[in-house]
Amino acid sequence: MTDEFDEVYETFQALLDAFPPAEAVKRLALLSTDPAVVERIRERHEQQTIRVRELEEPHTVVLGNRDTWYTGPHPKDKCWPAVTGILRKDGWPEKPAISSLDDSSTRIVSLLNHPKEKSFSTRGLVVGYVQSGKTTNFTSVMAKAADRGYKLFIVLAGIHNGLRRQTQARLVQQLVEPNPSMWSQLTGLDKDFTPQENPASYFGKSNRTRVLCVVKKNATVLRKLAKWLDQASDYLADCPALIIDDEADQATVATKSINPLILSIMSALPRSAYVGYTASPFANLLIDPGAADLYPKDFVVNLPKPQGHFGTEVLFGRYALDGEDPAEVDDGHDMIRSIPDDDVSCVRPESRADVEGFEPVITETLRRAVEYFWMVTAARRVRTTGNPHNTMLIHTSVNTAVHNSFDRPLRKLRETFAASLHDAEQIARLRSLWLQETERVPASDFGEAPVAFDDILRELPGVLESCRIVMDNSSSEDRLDYENGPVVAIAVGGNTLSRGLTLEGLSVSYFVRAVSAYDTLLQMGRWFGFRNGYADLPRIWMTDELAGWFRHLATVETEMRRDIDIYMTEDETPLTFAVRLRTHPALRVTAAAKMRDAVTAASAFGGQRVQTHCFHTNAEWLRGNIRAAEELVVAASTHARTISERSSEGRFVFRDVPHDAITDFLARYRFHEKSQESDGELIVKYINKRISDAGSLRRWNVAVVGNPRNGDTFTFAPGVTVGRNVRARVNSAGPPEPDFADIKTLMSRRDAAVDLPGDTSQLDEKAIKEARNKHLPDHGLLVLYPIDKVSAPSASRKSRAPLAAEEHVIGIGLVFPKPHTEDSTVEKYISANLANVRLEDEDFSLVDGEEA
């Protein structure tokens, strides 16, 4: 029997030289009279194949802080090299762009299951930036997974036809066309999924091709796909599948139709990995982890911020997080222009009843925005570099009738503008606008050459002639099309332009759309992305309130990403540590239905710095804070055990002040409503809880910090006089908001060590915290800052304006020691509820929250 087996096996090996394994088995069966021998040979070949693959992709390699089977591409790969080849032809540099893409996609594939595992159901989430190349990243992940044996690739490409078509085209170009014999397609450029005949032809063992399916998150389409896969179940046991959910927070979470259908598709696939991609993951991070749902229980990964990307923080700035030196946090580029509140009703109906018959007024700000767009397009023609397209976005309403109402006024504006290009007064006004903008944002700051107005003027007639006015919404037939030559377009639209779809060459945005949630707000920022060749030229017109919301959102994003990075650096998973999301009084984190399972996160002030940066500027409000500060200094000087006077340095320190003097002060001191991280009531509640729980914070050090180089002084109490500090306000996009100033930063790293012994000037943030834990483990620190009411900025700080308060301002900073035990909590964040998650022993795997 052994001799017969060996002889037949040699024949099989010879057949393998000429045919694929499945065909070789078929031909062997025709040559051999013993089916049992043929079956044994087939099983041996499969086992050897698995062993070889496992040697190539070992299960116990460590990448970062995780065991993995995948550590990067192999020389024999076909799909990944094809992707990089296309990117190189498109001008991508090897470093850092392709190298970073390689690293990040390898990281994600390494978190998937080995495709030869008998069964798996992975849930993961990848967090990118708006308009930052997420499609290129998941294309790379798909390529690497295809090279290693994943067979079925389902891409859920948003909810609009435009995005689905755009995604299909990209994947065909980068995956299918370079290796056509490796791929079969279930969808086409203009064809969403329709059931195919004979599933065996796609998934049978004789078919070694990868299968690509790009579908909208549409209930009818997904229902067809789920039913077809269910009918093909006999062929899916050996079909490892990767499901990519682009815009994973949209329609996926807490929807009665789409969500169950995605889960139904996964249930039909014994080996499946679901990976959501989004730049606004708030809803995904708040899914109930204990439910059979799409909570990213296996991994959450941040994509690196690409070089040259214009993101929320770059444009709007943000506030310092705990542990950061505020002086090192950027204010953002001076590219935001203000739309007065009075203009909003001119470009958007005030109610649904006003929609019918509404026609927008071309306000001064809208006219400036459009005229600036035409000049930007002319400037880019002079430069002849970068993206060949030029687009302006006007987004004021979700209503398609409102979009369409812009058509006639904008065409009239274009006609009038063209007719006035020989008018001296018009030319002078345009020259002034161009000079103002280029002085505020110099081209040299971005490595670009300035463009003279006279050169722009020569190009303007051609710009106007080629400029289209496009109403791009669900009811219009005239849509943006970047595939048939360079485009110059003013696009008016709503939801079709507010997520996923790339607006090529976007340089000017006019945005007043009212929103109520973080994710909606962030996704509407189509101005995020890359601006190669014109990085100095983009401008955004919006209300000051919206600009403030985006600044808050930039802070939320940065803090969220810092939490997510814990998964890659510490022994934590999404089932043991829930990402916290900072809240806002005027905005929801996401839609109410998507937050129903969220809980208030355990967050506290322990080990943190808190500082004021927003103030009212009216005299009455400011005088109340001055009186509170004066009373605190008197109480501190009376009850302090020692006083350190360093008046030459502009500093006084009152040591061992009783806590009730601090809580009395915080009860009287008024924080501005926009100071989200500063809430007097919560801070007092926290101090009292620390005292009752652990006896900490009974004693405080109180410091007064002034500017010793300023001869203009402020006196808190007899003998306590310091020079006033200069803290200019952040320059608003338009006229300063009445009775409001945001200085963004107050407390320096050095000030957080003002009460520590020795020379602390060279200590970094970590060293200061260690020194506080050593020398003052139970003491809090409160620092008072007298701020000059004028506070004019230096000439070099173009993003700042004079404080212009009616009275001197008292800012405060608080430093809390790290707690010895579990910290007392305050309600400032929300997160997923991990209370019902049951972690399994090593002998079990978790599949949809149940033992498998």
688 pLDDT above the threshold of 80? yes
- Which pLDDT belongs to residue 609? 83
- Cα–Cα dist 745/319, whole Å: 8
Integer angstrom CA distances of residue 145 from 240, 568, 774: 10, 21, 50
- Cα–Cα dist 233/230, whole Å: 5
**Which is more confidently placed, 171 or 585?**
171
**Residue-wise DSSP of 493-532:** ESGGGSSS---TTEEEEEE-----BHHHHHHT-TT-EE-T
**Which is more confidently placed, 335 or 42?**
335
Extract the tokens encoding 821: 């035990």
**Which is more confidently placed, 236 or 330?**
236
Extract the tokens encoding 848: 């949809």
Give mean pLDDT, residues 443-455.
94
Give mean pLDDT, residues 1-30.
71
C-beta contacts of 662-667 below 8 A and 24+ residues apart: 662/632, 662/687, 662/700, 662/702, 662/780, 662/782, 663/687, 663/688, 664/631, 664/632, 664/635, 665/628, 665/629, 665/631, 665/632, 665/635, 665/782
Integer angstrom CA distances of residue 844 from 327, 654, 764, 849, 850: 49, 58, 45, 11, 9
Contact, 283 vs 254, CB < 8 A? Answer: yes
Identify each DSSP E strand in 21-119 by its residue range: 61-63, 66-68
pLDDT tens by residue, 482-494: 878 899 999 987 6
Residue 653: name the closest of 765, 756, 774 by CA.
756
- Cα–Cα dist 377/456, whole Å: 9
682 pLDDT above the threshold of 70? yes
pLDDT tens by residue, 323-343: 676 667 778 889 999 999 899
Percentage of the residues of the chain whose pLDDT score is greater than 90: 47
Give mean pLDDT, residues 757-784.
88
844 pLDDT above the threshold of 60? no
- Which pLDDT belongs to residue 680? 84
Percentage of the residues of the chain whose pLDDT score is greater than 70: 89
- Which pLDDT belongs to residue 746? 87
- Which pLDDT belongs to residue 499? 57
- Which pLDDT belongs to residue 733? 58
Average pLDDT, the chain: 85
**Which is more confidently placed, 601 or 259?**
259
- Which pLDDT belongs to residue 692? 84
601 pLDDT above the threshold of 70? no
pLDDT tens by residue, 805-816: 999 999 999 999
- Which pLDDT belongs to residue 36? 79
- Cα–Cα dist 394/254, whole Å: 30
Give mean pLDDT, residues 813-831.
73
- Which pLDDT belongs to residue 524? 75
Residue recorded with tokens 């959102």? 553
Contact, 433 vs 365, CB < 8 A? Answer: no
641 pLDDT above the threshold of 90? no
- Cα–Cα dist 745/152, whole Å: 51
Residue 206: name the closest of 176, 235, 228 by CA.
235
